[in-house]
Structure 1
Amino acid sequence: MWSDFTEYIIKHYSQSSRIVEVAVGRFPEVGCKLKKHLKGDIILTDIKPYHDWIILDDIRQPDLKIYKDAGLIYSIRPPEELHPYLENLSRETGADLIIKPLSTDSINTKEKMNLVNFKKAVFYKKSFK
């Protein structure tokens, strides 16, 4: 499934100069694979980074410089209470938003997000361009 999710991002965002993963936690596999296959900036953020290449940022009070010129902001299994912050940030920066929730979670955003089924990957997407 993660290879399908990564493939979707590579296929649709290969021309983006910047892609940002929010709340990476201890699961950097997607971001690391994107770094290997894409030329733009691939930035991983978390409120408690466990490695020096993960940038400290609190999505509830984001440092907008991190997200400037992003074509995509995505988050894998973020807590539902963070969904509105992701939505606001994407709207403010004009970046597309992808949220890959846990299968038991719903989406907690004001605007409707589109359900995407790409091979075995299932996630929600909204374009704010």
Structure 2
Amino acid sequence: MWTDFTEYIIKNYSQSSRIVEVGAGHLQQVACKLKEHLKVDIIMTDIKPYHDKIILDDIRQPNLKIYKDAGLIYSIRPPEELHPYLEKVSRITGADLIIKPLSTDSINTTGKMDLINYKKAVFYKTSFK
């Protein structure tokens, strides 16, 4: 399942200088694959870092230095109450935003997000450029 999602990011963001995953948690297959295939700064953040490669950050009160120059901010299965904060940081930084919700979740943003069906991956995306 994560292969198609990762492939989409690789195809569309290989020229970015930075990609940030918000809420990395224990699921790091995507970030690890991106690190293997891209010469891009891949940053993982979480409010409770699982290990030392994840940066402590609360998207509700973000350290904007982490997101500076990001071409993409993405989050896998974030709680719906965090969607507006993800949108706000993406808007401030000018980064694209991808939210990969659980299949039963809806999107809770003020702006329009496009539903993307890429092979077997389904997610929402918006651009603030």
Query: TM over 0.5: same fold?
Result: yes
**Matched residue, 1:31:** 31
**Matched residue, 1:59:** 59
What is the CA RMSD across the aligned residues, in angstroms? 0.4
Paired positions, count: 129
**Matched residue, 1:8:** 8
Counterpart check, 1:19 vs 2:19: yes
Counterpart Cα distance in 1 of 2:67 and 2:35: 17
Q: How far has the Cα of 1:85 moved from its partner?
A: 0.1
Counterpart Cα distance in 1 of 2:73 and 2:34: 13
Which runs of 5 or more residues in structure 1 are unaligned?
Answer: none
Letter in 2 for 1:103: S
TM-score for the superposition, normalised by structure 2: 0.99
**Matched residue, 1:116:** 116
Counterpart Cα distance in 2 of 1:127 and 1:119: 21
Which runs of 5 or more residues in structure 2 are unaligned?
Answer: none
Moved over 3 A (4+): none
Q: Which sits farther off after the overlay, 98-107 or 23-32?
A: 23-32
- Aligned residue runs from structure 1 range 41-120, under 5 A: 41-120=41-120
Q: How far has the Cα of 1:40 moved from its partner?
A: 1.1
TM-score for the superposition, normalised by structure 1: 0.99
